[in-house]
Structure 1
């Protein structure tokens, strides 16, 4: 079912007069700074590798595997006496993660502090431990998503996406979840179409459907080329619920992208994941991918947030490891670097 929403949203609280404005809302940050992508420090174009053909796994080592898994996953596997299926783990993750995106974080942090003080007053030490854990998760989420805006990271993503030689591109987003990155890309290169694909229907009916209509994306006015504010309901989006292995598209997309997909499978399946990007790409088209960075902040995040985040196999990579997977799968890397919490690569098929 096509979701073609080209009218102006009922409430469009921001426009071009609000450039350089930023504000913390209860669940996320509004950030209209740097509308012309002139700040150089939001995507570090690392240029760590000048010749990918000379790089080997001996040089870079293998990614860091996150092994602290969620309580829900461990309980499910204990109850069913089997390993949780991949699709089930993705469904558990989506529901858990979405709950955090829609939280009123300041309100919940305040309630968590009150509960902690009450449990301490009553010397209920088991509940004190639980309350401390919840407060730690809320504080870390508040910093990572609201204060730093490291998960959506609009300035970093725009810097990664800038300078593509496309007009009115057809964009395919594999494993789309709420679809944030494709909407940001569509705002920057308007006039085409986005096809989002995820095999968990919850991603379409909840994660995407509940993404706020009033969230402003900084993009481009296709008539003048000047910066412009876009909203979800002004974009041409088709959300497909299916396994990406079942897609019947040909090589018809100018851009094929994924965000946080490659790191969810061990090496035996990475070539298949990368082939999904190749098989739908027009000649000369772009592949855009991100993965979480292997840094101490990310390791801490996935440990503290394990009950929220860790329902599936997960790795943390440095940009050379990510790039080597991409290069050895038959792509030339046009740009590689990193943002606040993600690696980013723009590539073309060799």
Structure 2
């Protein structure tokens, strides 16, 4: 199974364009040239002194409690899933949605729904209605709004780092999207993707479309350039983060949607992973899903796709307080479409 590939080769002549493919959106618009704030990193500046912020002021994050039916069924037969098993279920379920020809499947689902309605097959109607709703929501969130990858927002979040040919370590990398975007913006270095599920290397990253264009820079000219996955210096390590043999050798340590999967008693350990591999002066970049109404609804409607693991939704102050208490000075904090974003350095 592979993501629907888009045959067109994009070049510098396509800057400023956006286009829908059957499975995802292409977006080569530069966030720094746009007045549409929803597509940019919003530098929130909500907190001027993190040392003065308290949990009494910000409260604790919202915990997503709805679980995937597949997880519930498995646990009814086998007992509690291990964390690794939960992630394996999630990765396979999530990837199935990334590789869909969404418009075609949406049409087919609606046709199926009307067939069941015409026959008064109520139980099948409920199933078809749920599938149509999930497809419609995924179509909006991933293709129309481009909220999962959000290239413009993430380019804006990653902008302005003082690095040259950086070594980038991506913890819990999945398909590696954000590290590839960073590599395009700051080319010439190396990306190391880490995930302990082999499926992420072989399928989520392995089947990430070679035709997807990343808007980055050309160090030879100082101008913008389109980069592709197969032009990048990427290595994929399948291992538990706790077993990594690296020292303080990376310019950037990145995680996307990682911190919110750890209850409070384990967040310090997760934050320490971002510190222990950084060179002096290196950057830790983290994102987490935002606590907002549409995110709460998304995780409820898409529960069978998304909810196999412990998950929290945070606002930027909650996320920032975890990061600050984890030993980091926060250089930038804010939010993009559906994620909080923080750029920090160890204290």
Q: What range describes the TM-score normalised by the shorter chain of this pair?
A: over 0.9
Deviation at 1:13, TM superposition (A): 0.7
- Aligned pair count reads 339
| Separation in structure 2 between the aligned mates of residue 261 and residue 327 of structure 1, nearest angstrom | 16
The partner residue of 1:163 within 155, 160, 164 is: 160
Question: Is 1:16 aligned with 2:12?
Answer: yes
**2:25 is equivalent to residue 29 of structure 1:** yes
Does residue 147 (structure 1) correspond to residue 147 (structure 2)? The answer is no
Look up the SS of the partner of 1:223 in the other structure.
Answer: coil
Q: Which runs of 5+ in 2 are unaligned?
A: 1-6
Q: Choose which of 206, 210, 226 in structure 2 pairs with 1:209.
A: 206
Match of 2:77? 79
Q: What is the CA deviation profile of residues 157-206 of structure 1, one whole-angstrom value per residue up to 9, with x for unaligned ones?
A: 00000000000000000000000000000000000000000000000000
Query: Residue 63 of structure 1 aligns with which residue?
Result: 61
In structure 1, stretches of 5+ residues that fail to align are 1-10
2:3: which partner in 1? none
1:126 counterpart = 2:123 = yes
1:276-307 deviations in whole A, cap 9, x for unaligned?
Answer: 11100000000000000000000000000000
Match of 1:230 among 227, 232, 240: 227
Q: CA deviation at 1:50?
A: 0.3
Give the whole-Å Cα distance in 2 for the aligned partners of 1:136 and 1:317. Answer: 25
Q: Which residue of 1 aligns with 2:4?
A: none
In 2: Cα distance, 1:201 partner to 1:216 partner? 25
Q: What does residue 97 of structure 1 align with? A: 94
SS of match in other structure, 1:97: helix
CA drift of 1:225 comes to 1.4
Of 47, 50, 55, 1:49 maps to 47
Q: Which residue of structure 2 aligns with residue 38 of structure 1?
A: 33
Deviation at 1:104, TM superposition (A): 0.2
Quick one: distance in 1 between partners of 2:57 and 2:106?
44
Query: Which residue matches 2:259?
Result: 262
> CA separation in 1, counterparts of 2:274 and 2:26?
31
Deviations 1:213-244 (A, max 9, x none): 00000000011111110000000000000000
Could you tell me how far 1:37 is from its partner in structure 2? 2.5
The Cα of 1:12 is off from its aligned counterpart by 6.4
Q: Deviations for 1:120-169, whole angstroms, at most 9, x for unmatched residues?
A: 01100000000000000000000000000000000000000000000000
> For 1:10-45, what per-residue CA distance to the aligned partner results, in whole angstroms no more than 9, with x for missing partners?
x661000011111110000011112x7333621100
Q: Could you tell me the TM-score, scaled by structure 1's length?
A: 0.96
How many Å separate the matches in 2 of 1:225 and 1:175?
31
Cα distance in 1 for residues equivalent to 2:322 and 2:33: 31
Q: Which residue of 2 aligns with 1:6?
A: none
- The residue number in structure 2 matching 1:336 is 333
1:173-188 aligned within 5 A: 173-188=170-185
TM-score when scaled to structure 2?
0.96
What is the SS of the residue equivalent to 2:225? strand
Which position in structure 2 is the counterpart of 1:3? none
Within-5 A mapping of 1:275-294: 275-294=272-291
